[in-house]
Structure 1
Amino acid sequence: MSGLRKRTTKGTSKKDLSTVSNSSDEKLLETVQKSKDNEKPTDQTDECPLLNKISLAVVTILAFVTRIYKIDYPSEVVFDEVHFGKFASYYLQRTYFFDLHPPFAKLLIALVGYLVGYDGSFKFDNIGDSYIDNKVPYVAYRLLSAVLGSVTVPIIYLTLKELNYSIPTAVFGSLLVLFDNAHVAETRLILLDAVLILSVALSIYSYIRFYKEQANGAYTKGWFKWLILTGVSLSCVISTKYVGVFTYITIGFAVALDLWSLLDIESGLTIRQFIRHFVARFYSLIVLPFLIYLYWFYVHFEILTRSGPGDGFMSSEFQESLGDSPLAKTAKQVNYYDIVTFKHKGTDALLHSHGYRYPLRYEDGRVSSQGQQVTGFIGEDINNQWQVLPVEEFPEDNKLNKPVRIDDIVRFLHVNTGTYLLSHDVASPLYPTNEEFTTVDYNTSITRFNETLFKLPAADKSNKRSIIKTKSSLLRVLHVDTTVALWTHDDVTLPEWGFNQLEVNGNKKIQDSTNTWYFDEIIGLNDSRQFYVPKPVKKIPFFKKWWELQFIMFEQNNKLSSEHPFASDPISWPGSLSGVSFWTKEGTKEQIYFIGNLFGWWLEVIALASFAGFFAAVKLVQQRKIYVLKDIQIKQLFNIGFLYIGYLSHYVFFFLMARQKFLHHYLPAHLIAAILTAAILEFLVGRGKVLNITIVVLSIGLIYSFYFFAPITYGNVGLTPDQVGARQFLNIKLHFYK
């Protein structure tokens, strides 16, 4: 990096890493050495310090404005806030949950809730749920992301200045993130990416500061400070998301190159001195970050001491280390012959039947079985009661206390009409592709016995054969004979003949998450189960719990290979060819759509490609002993090379992943691409009037593009179909186009 002039470590020469990296060409080496000998102590001495401070202040203020503007809107759950807001609530209620990501950023979100006195009662179940009605301090939560996202912008500015680029270049690099629609959208919601992106930026900035400190000598106060801060920043990255390993690759590459130059005999270091350098970096950049990473898991386990929705992912031994959650007081073991109510998780509808029958013909002319109606009913009613029966009757003297377990096959008797639940190959009323559910009398249930059998697999990761409990055991109800899942929906209701209740049918997509049910209540419970007895809690060593969780996190991450409507391939990311719908509001035609600033993203693609082509051409002509690079460009090559490695490290490895991938995975790479684009611009154009005019023109285009897409970034402006259509570039598919 051009900020490093010489090493003052005992016995070192003036040769630094940028010199070593170009030593293959004697002519180029001579030019580099000559330029370094004539170089001033800093390239920033010809710039006004006051202008530098003003520029930094302006981009910082604008960053806060763009991210905090209308942060209270919408006052509803938006996209992945359903996950990370929910996790904060679980932390606040100390109930165990499972997530694929390490705990650091989630703990920060929960800390905000704790500081404002929130109790975590709202669980962020559905996109569109009201924060106002549920009294959630969502603005405080979102401000955390907004502040961290805003601070990232001045870090970009300072990084470019530490690399000795001009003020206009530093400003432009900052603007590429400041006015990027994707960064703004992602860093003003209750998400993890603001923490991740700031940590990546701080890791790169801190390492550059450490590298430059070597000019003042190794083992100085400043040298240790920036080395340790690099390690702390790296720990924040890896403790937020495991893709932080890409930042480790970036810094690791630079460290390896630095150590390689120190190992050179011309550096003047003895082997003992070299080992001391290696050990300092090893402890600061690997051991310290790992200990901090472990610390957040320790906090995670210390907070989550109660049983919760994540229990099913863990071993029975792990679950025994958790105390009962508040849910445990109402969760009761379900036994055979219990009379229960059965609730659908997505709609809160209870499984219901009554003495009325399906009509002979539906409105579209299809014929039904004319069997007894089975529907979904919201509210208490005697017709919601069902008795859970075994496939084979237990002996009369041995019927009591026989628990129903995961994967058991059962029958359901509708108590009020004395009929048995049945599904068969007859089209349902509203979904001709799905099967009808009905009930039949005792005699018919004997002749059609197999059609009354239902299996109860877990809808989550509960252990097989575990006892089913009310409220807490999430189930699918699979028809044994035809392999369809019990399902209901509230997008449309039955006609008047069905009393406008919800349709219940057999869904052939048995793995669909909307097939989830649970036993809600046991009717007339009068045995020992009515009394709550806290379970004993066992102690398990921290490292045993941590290792089990690590294994399960990676296992579940690898399973994320199913299709998703908003998933995208990495090849489409640099051009922001498609985005993600975050939130919509039908009445006002408002929407939040996650997409990058197309002007900025395509400018970065052009800059990266142009530099690669230019560099290849330079190397080609150098083979003919023709040297076209200016001295200042030669000094910039190492900076650009470092940033290029950082960009590729955060991008190309996604091509190797089989899991679901989304556009937001590109944001750390985009952050580095923004810094790299500004650096390449100054490299190709050079400092001066031409550069300043170019930056002004490009900034105008960047800001206009941000403004153009702002309505779908903030979601506070409804657009007409024509206005929506004008923003549908490439594969961007917006709502309300027609």
Structure 2
Amino acid sequence: MSTTPQGTPQSTLRQRNVPGSSKKKNGSTEDLDSELDSLVKANKQATKKHSEWDYKVALTVITILAFISRFWGISHPNEVVFDEVHFGKFASFYLERTYFFDVHPPFGKLLFALMGWLVGYDGHFHFENIGDSYIANKVPYVAFRSMPALLGSLTVSVTFLIMWESGYSLPACIVAAGLVLLDNAHIGQTRLILLDATLVLAMACSLLCYIKFYKLRHEPFSRKWWKWLILTGFALSCDISTKYVGLFAFVTIGSAVVIDLWDLLDIKRPGGALDLKEFAYHFGARAVGLILIPFLFYLFWFQVHFAILTRSGPGDDFMTPEFQETLSDNVMLANSINIDYYDTITIRHKETKAYLHSHDARYPLRYDDGRVSSQGQQVTGYPYNDTNNYWQILPANDDHQMGRHVKNHELVRLRHLVTDTILLSHDVASPYYPTNQEFTTVSIADAYGSRSADTLFEIRIEHGKPNQEFKSVSSHFKLIHNPSKVAMWTHSKPLPEWGHKQQEINGNKQIAPSSNVWIVEDVPSVPADSPRRQRQERQVKTLPFLRKWFELQRSMFWHNSQLTSSHPYASLPYQWPFLLRGVSFWTQNETRQQIYFLGNPIGWWIASSLIAVYAGIVGADQVSLRRGIDALDHRFFFLAWATHYFPFFTMGRQLFLHHYLPAHLASCLIVGSLLEFVFNAEPSAEEPSYQDVKSGKKSAPGPRRHITARERFAGQSMVPAWIACAVILSLVFAGWYFFLPLTYGYPGLTVDQVLRRKWLGYDLHFAK
């Protein structure tokens, strides 16, 4: 039997179009309505089946292309590239079980360690320098790179599924996924041992899972409803457990949830507003699925992190002595000794690693801003070991009793041995901080005479107990000036020439910050063969998980906030949507090959332009509503873009182009949705029945766009949408192909070829 293009048998159509064939029940028009309704339903089922097959074929093809584009030539270059020095190294530390410190949560790094473990790698290579050979060092780098390549390929598929689940036409789905598929930045970032593939996939999965959850809002607390709610929470957890910018996905989903909960209290909704008990159930379920469960998963990855890293390693310095005592083979703790009064010690700042130092030079009479100093002896921070770093620790009463241990909260004086002066702080402004006190030294006569009180300092051990013994290396402490209660502090900004470019030491009125912490690095007055230096067998201790977790969180957040130094390839958020600059990842002079991290300019400019078009659509909101577009449509995608982009304007840390990748994925979704909006492409198969349209009844709102049966019957043309799809992807493909050598690192380019790719002054290598 032949069929129509919609899949409905022609004989049925002909039979139903015979004049008078519908005049049953005395020619009632209800009979005609019933037959039309049956015809629409049959047509809908056939069209839906046909449409789903088209979607599946397109998804399969796009997924295959994604894998090809991400895995093609993944073994090149066979050298360490850019930030592979960090994340490859962390994978090796996991496999060696040696403790390390990083500002990012552990989930993404654990995936790399898992891949290394699966291929039998022992972690012997530590990725020290960009350009180190993987082949010579026998590193399974292709396996490591395959992990992000796999995740990056799946991101393209998830992008297609987001559009499909939201009810968009096939051209719209293909455009959105195609923009990600052919984007050089997404490809470049997912072919190397980097975290962004994990981050972007987790963000995309959170959007997909929430859309599927939202579509079940008329089946609350059903099994599927719970499944997609929990999966949304799991995806969010993976997002924030990879990088802390994953918090932006929580803001995206959280905003949509707040709107959804508000709608449940709307008395105009079908069935009326929920009572408070029912609303509490809805609120509680979302709180469990989107807050509690993600937080528990987040904690779980840290538990795995601590369980694996049981040996002392390069991350010890970032943790407290109590934490370090939970690690085996901790050399620093093994070498710590008790500090006695009259010992000579060297004191080092925990964060900047500068020694407490002094010398004969004086502070100038006036600083550049006109303020007057005390003209006292300079006390500075010095990065190298030197005899001017030697200080003798004296008791407050100078009783000359030798062999007595220094203890927590005791008052001491510090004598600078080379100049034979005593450390002092007083109510004089420091060189750089008018609100902070100057540190200087005074003569011994003044220290025990008129300036006696100003030379007293309290030893305050971090997390120390009363009468706890003060030790070298293991006792992290703050030196608190007794009369004024300021903490000795330093920072990395160097003093002018009069201060020999050394660090300023001053008194910080804010005692709590960890930047006030110092360590006694050594006790030079104790000989190497002294019984005090004998190593004792130390038992590995334990700490409660939450205490270790809180300590690591504090350290991670602080060090993350300190990433403010300039970087030659850093960029600002306003530059990202327009792709004004990229990042040089790798170069090879002999072959003139280079990897330059850069998005597809044509694709990015199209996406950024259509985001501007969206602003016009917001202004025509009533028109949008008349077209039957639900709130969880491209507005949801715009929300995802905005929450993943605008917060970066408030950050003071280093920022790079890769920070825009989650927002770029959301912008690709916006492009697909606006393509359908503009060209009114093929609607979904979830339209209301003929009887609903005839009676004016509205179907329940959802993420899919609805049209009337008459529109379906007429069969809207998809030609304009397909033409637009073809034009956009052709342009994007051309951009991808043109910049392909910079993404894949080969072939090498001539000077002329490099210059032709400097569209916006990109700082490419080998341009001359």
Among 248, 251, 263, which residue is 1:246 paired with? 248
Hey, what does 1:736 align to over in structure 2? 766
1:715 is the counterpart of 2:720: no
Hey, what does 2:562 align to over in structure 1? 559
Offset of 1:465 from its aligned partner? 9.1
Among 303, 309, 318, which residue is 1:304 paired with? 309
Q: 1:689 to 1:389 in 2, by over 3 A?
A: closer
Judge conservation of contact 2:336–2:471 (CA < 8 Å) in 1.
no
Hey, what does 2:35 align to over in structure 1? none
Among 580, 592, 604, which residue is 1:589 paired with? 592
Q: 1:532 to 1:86 in 2, by over 3 A?
A: farther
- Report matched runs for 1:476-487 at 5 Å: 483=500
Offset of 1:264 from its aligned partner? 2.1
Displacement over 4 Å in runs of 4+: 38-44, 327-333, 386-394, 407-411, 464-468, 478-482, 525-534, 628-631
1:261 is the counterpart of 2:291: no
Q: 1:158 to 1:393 in 2, by over 3 A?
A: closer
Distance in 1, matches of 2:554 and 2:415, equals 29
Distance in 1, matches of 2:599 and 2:472, equals 47
Q: 1:95 to 1:683 in 2, by over 3 A?
A: same
Offset of 1:613 from its aligned partner? 2.1
Among 214, 217, 240, which residue is 1:214 paired with? 217
Hey, what does 2:328 align to over in structure 1? 323
Hey, what does 1:695 align to over in structure 2? 725
Q: 1:153 to 1:56 in 2, by over 3 A?
A: same
Among 652, 660, 684, which residue is 1:666 paired with? 660
Offset of 1:409 from its aligned partner? 9.5
Offset of 1:532 from its aligned partner? 7.4
Offset of 1:52 from its aligned partner? 1.5
Judge conservation of contact 2:334–2:538 (CA < 8 Å) in 1.
no
Distance in 1, matches of 2:765 and 2:127, equals 23
In the TM superposition, what whole-angstrom CA distance separates every residue of 1:138-163 from its partner, at most 9, and x where no partner exists?
11110000001001111111110111
Distance in 1, matches of 2:329 and 2:183, equals 46
Judge conservation of contact 1:63–1:178 (CA < 8 Å) in 2.
yes
Judge conservation of contact 2:585–2:596 (CA < 8 Å) in 1.
yes
Judge conservation of contact 1:318–1:545 (CA < 8 Å) in 2.
yes
Judge conservation of contact 1:321–1:539 (CA < 8 Å) in 2.
yes
1:188 aligns to what SS in structure 2? coil
Distance in 2, matches of 1:117 and 1:528, equals 45
Hey, what does 1:355 align to over in structure 2? none
Offset of 1:526 from its aligned partner? 8.1
In the TM superposition, what whole-angstrom CA distance separates every residue of 1:215-262 from its partner, at most 9, and x where no partner exists?
3x1111111111110011111011111111110011011111111111
Hey, what does 2:318 align to over in structure 1? 313
In the TM superposition, what whole-angstrom CA distance separates every residue of 1:167-191 from its partner, at most 9, and x where no partner exists?
1211111110011000000011111
Q: How high is the TM-score relative to the length of structure 2?
A: 0.65
Distance in 1, matches of 2:84 and 2:335, equals 27
Among 257, 260, 280, which residue is 2:285 paired with? 280
Hey, what does 2:294 align to over in structure 1? 289
Offset of 1:214 from its aligned partner? 2.3
Q: 1:542 to 1:589 in 2, by over 3 A?
A: same
Distance in 2, matches of 1:681 and 1:82, equals 41
- Report matched runs for 1:325-344 at 5 Å: none
1:657 is the counterpart of 2:651: yes
Q: 1:389 to 1:693 in 2, by over 3 A?
A: closer
Structure 1 stretches of 5 or more lacking a match?
1-37, 336-385, 399-406, 412-463, 469-475, 486-517, 520-524, 623-627
User: Which amino acid in 1 is paired with 2:85?
Assistant: V
Q: 1:532 to 1:724 in 2, by over 3 A?
A: farther
Offset of 1:606 from its aligned partner? 1.1
User: Which amino acid in 2 is paired with 1:63?
Assistant: A
Q: 1:47 to 1:166 in 2, by over 3 A?
A: farther
Distance in 1, matches of 2:388 and 2:158, equals 65
Distance in 1, matches of 2:333 and 2:392, equals 30
Q: 1:43 to 1:252 in 2, by over 3 A?
A: farther
Q: 1:567 to 1:227 in 2, by over 3 A?
A: same
Paired residues in the alignment total 543
Distance in 2, matches of 1:132 and 1:527, equals 48
Q: What percent identity do the matched residue pairs reach?
A: 48
Q: 1:677 to 1:287 in 2, by over 3 A?
A: same
1:111 aligns to what SS in structure 2? helix
Hey, what does 1:681 align to over in structure 2? 675
Offset of 1:586 from its aligned partner? 1.1
How big is the alpha-carbon RMSD for the aligned residues of Structure 1 and Structure 2? 3.8
Offset of 1:270 from its aligned partner? 2.3
Q: 1:390 to 1:255 in 2, by over 3 A?
A: closer
Distance in 1, matches of 2:416 and 2:583, equals 41
User: Which amino acid in 2 is paired with 1:261?
Assistant: D
Distance in 1, matches of 2:587 and 2:235, equals 36
Judge conservation of contact 2:333–2:473 (CA < 8 Å) in 1.
no
- Report matched runs for 1:117-516 at 5 Å: 117-215=120-218, 217-265=219-267, 266=269, 267-268=271-272, 269-324=274-329, 466-467=472-473, 483=500
Hey, what does 2:374 align to over in structure 1? none
Judge conservation of contact 1:573–1:666 (CA < 8 Å) in 2.
yes
Judge conservation of contact 1:232–1:289 (CA < 8 Å) in 2.
yes
1:550 is the counterpart of 2:553: yes
Hey, what does 1:3 align to over in structure 2? none
Q: 1:43 to 1:189 in 2, by over 3 A?
A: farther
Judge conservation of contact 2:79–2:133 (CA < 8 Å) in 1.
yes
Hey, what does 1:613 align to over in structure 2? 616
In the TM superposition, what whole-angstrom CA distance separates every residue of 1:7-42 from its partner, at most 9, and x where no partner exists?
xxxxxxxxxxxxxxxxxxxxxxxxxxxxxxx99999
1:640 is the counterpart of 2:634: yes
Distance in 1, matches of 2:415 and 2:243, equals 38
Q: 1:533 to 1:724 in 2, by over 3 A?
A: farther
Offset of 1:130 from its aligned partner? 0.8
Offset of 1:387 from its aligned partner? 12
Judge conservation of contact 1:168–1:695 (CA < 8 Å) in 2.
yes
Q: 1:135 to 1:44 in 2, by over 3 A?
A: farther
Structure 2 stretches of 5 or more lacking a match?
1-39, 340-384, 394-401, 403-413, 419-469, 475-491, 503-520, 523-527, 682-717
Distance in 1, matches of 2:416 and 2:100, equals 29
User: Which amino acid in 1 is paired with 2:748?
Assistant: G
Distance in 2, matches of 1:320 and 1:719, equals 54
Q: 1:318 to 1:307 in 2, by over 3 A?
A: same
In the TM superposition, what whole-angstrom CA distance separates every residue of 1:553-579 from its partner, at most 9, and x where no partner exists?
111111111111111110000111100
Judge conservation of contact 2:392–2:416 (CA < 8 Å) in 1.
no
Q: 1:718 to 1:43 in 2, by over 3 A?
A: farther
Judge conservation of contact 2:74–2:142 (CA < 8 Å) in 1.
yes
Judge conservation of contact 2:163–2:172 (CA < 8 Å) in 1.
yes
Hey, what does 2:25 align to over in structure 1? none
Instruction: Name the stretch that deviates more: 677-686 or 643-652.
Output: 677-686
Distance in 2, matches of 1:602 and 1:408, equals 65
Q: How high is the TM-score relative to the length of structure 1?
A: 0.67
Judge conservation of contact 2:94–2:308 (CA < 8 Å) in 1.
yes
Offset of 1:48 from its aligned partner? 2.8
Judge conservation of contact 1:44–1:166 (CA < 8 Å) in 2.
no
Q: 1:655 to 1:392 in 2, by over 3 A?
A: closer
Distance in 2, matches of 1:538 and 1:315, equals 13
Instruction: Name the stretch that deviates more: 119-128 or 606-615.
Output: 606-615
Hey, what does 1:706 align to over in structure 2? 736
Distance in 1, matches of 2:471 and 2:591, equals 49
2:584 aligns to what SS in structure 1? strand
1:134 aligns to what SS in structure 2? coil
1:562 aligns to what SS in structure 2? coil
1:57 is the counterpart of 2:60: yes
User: Which amino acid in 2 is paired with 1:277?
Assistant: H
